[in-house]
Amino acid sequence: MKYGIVAFPSKKLQDLANTYRKRYDPHYALITPHITLKDAFDADEAEIGEISKHLQEVASRFAPLQIHASRISSFYPTTNAIYFRVEPTPQLENIQKSIQEKINFGAPKHVFVPHITIAQKMSASEHDDIHGQLRMVGVDEKDSIDRFHLLYQLEDGSWTTYETYKLTGAE
């Protein structure tokens, strides 16, 4: 089964991201707006109890995530995804690293750049056009996220929540 680990920002920030995703992101219907903490990885259902225990440990060490979506940026030329850039902080880097260390399934595909995707899978010219527009509009939202989620993927590509982990620590 395919699993992933994400943090959902506040409803306000999700609603804002969806105003763009509705038009520009073909994954719009598969999952609500999120910050990916660990990319999709394969695991047996038998292993998921252990994984869940590790995630519970991580969650008990970290305090609610203080995030700042500060501007609209693009991963071009790596991919043509456009996103709300979430300012990197030691807290975000540490929680991502802790999750990666504890759950050693699948190496991270790329350096951790915290973000909320709002557009992807466009042609090169669409990308340039939309990126140009959205960069000017920008974003400036601060948020506190007090939990993260382990999800699993259905055959149609959509994601269901398996479990929620509340951030109850101090880090």
Stretch that binds a copy of itself, among 10-18, 95-103, 111-119, 123-131 (CB under 8 A): 10-18
Return the H-helix or E-strand segment holding 81. none
Residue 61 within binding range of a copy of itself, rule CB under 8 A: no
Residue 42 within binding range of a copy of itself, rule CB under 8 A: no
Active site residue 27: no
Residue 41 within binding range of a copy of itself, rule CB under 8 A: no
Check the CA dihedral 109-111-84-9 and report its sign.
positive
Interhelix angle 90-102/48-61, rounded to 10 degrees, is: 150
Residue 149 within binding range of a copy of itself, rule CB under 8 A: yes
Q: Which residue in 1, 57, 87, 133 binds a copy of itself (CB under 8 A)?
A: 1
Report strand pairing: 82-86 vs 35-42: unpaired
CB of 84 to a copy of itself, least distance (A): 16
Q: Which residue in 15, 50, 93, 101 binds a copy of itself (CB under 8 A)?
A: 15
Closest to a copy of itself by CB, 37 or 74: 37
Active site residue 110: no
Alpha-carbon distance of 48 to 53, in angstroms, equals: 9
Alpha-carbon distance of 53 to 95, in angstroms, equals: 15
